[in-house]
Amino acid sequence: MFLVLLCSIPAHANVSDAQDYLYQAASAAQEACSYARKAYYYASDLEEIQYYSRKAMRAAEESESYCGLAIDELYGANMDDAIMHTEDAASYAYSAYRYSRQAYQSSEYDDAQYYARKAMNEASYAESSACDAASECE
């Protein structure tokens, strides 16, 4: 009985840490979405799209990194639903990064805008999935 209690304390601490990482992942994904939205809706030229896309790229990469840290904490804590949502969030964040990078590297305004829109959508999905995963940790 004492051993079981001792083992459950670190698992709870890990879930709490995972939840913190997930909130950070959601925040970074929201930031990526905001920058991609600026690139898509408000940028008036290619250079401006590239400027915001670069910022979106960095934020999406940060979101993916926080998802990885959360997954590390969730393994062994019997939190399968949270792990699934976190893996989804990481995948969406990676897609947001990839599309932001394509927008940043584009040489045509229309192409850059197209990829910025895709990045915006993927970042939004990443934020939603990270929030879903965090709620599974409660």
What predicted TM-score, i.e. pTM, was given to this entire model? 0.90
Would you tell me how many other CB atoms lie within 10 Å of the CB of residue 85? 25
Q: Report yes or no on 85 lying in a domain.
A: yes
With tokens 């999935």, the residue in question is 129
CA dist list (Å): 108 to 24, 27, 32, 112: 33, 30, 21, 6
Q: Report yes or no on 16 lying in a domain.
A: no
Q: Report yes or no on 77 lying in a domain.
A: yes
Residue 69 belongs to domain spanning: 44-138
* DSSP string of 122-138, one letter each residue: HHHHHHHHHHHHHHHT-
Q: Report yes or no on 50 lying in a domain.
A: yes
The predicted structure's pLDDT at residue 78? 83
Q: Report yes or no on 14 lying in a domain.
A: no
Tens of pLDDT, residue by residue over 38-94, are 999 999 999 999 999 999 999 999 999 999 999 999 987 889 999 999 999 999 999
Tens of pLDDT, residue by residue over 6-17, are 333 344 558 999
Q: Report yes or no on 126 lying in a domain.
A: yes
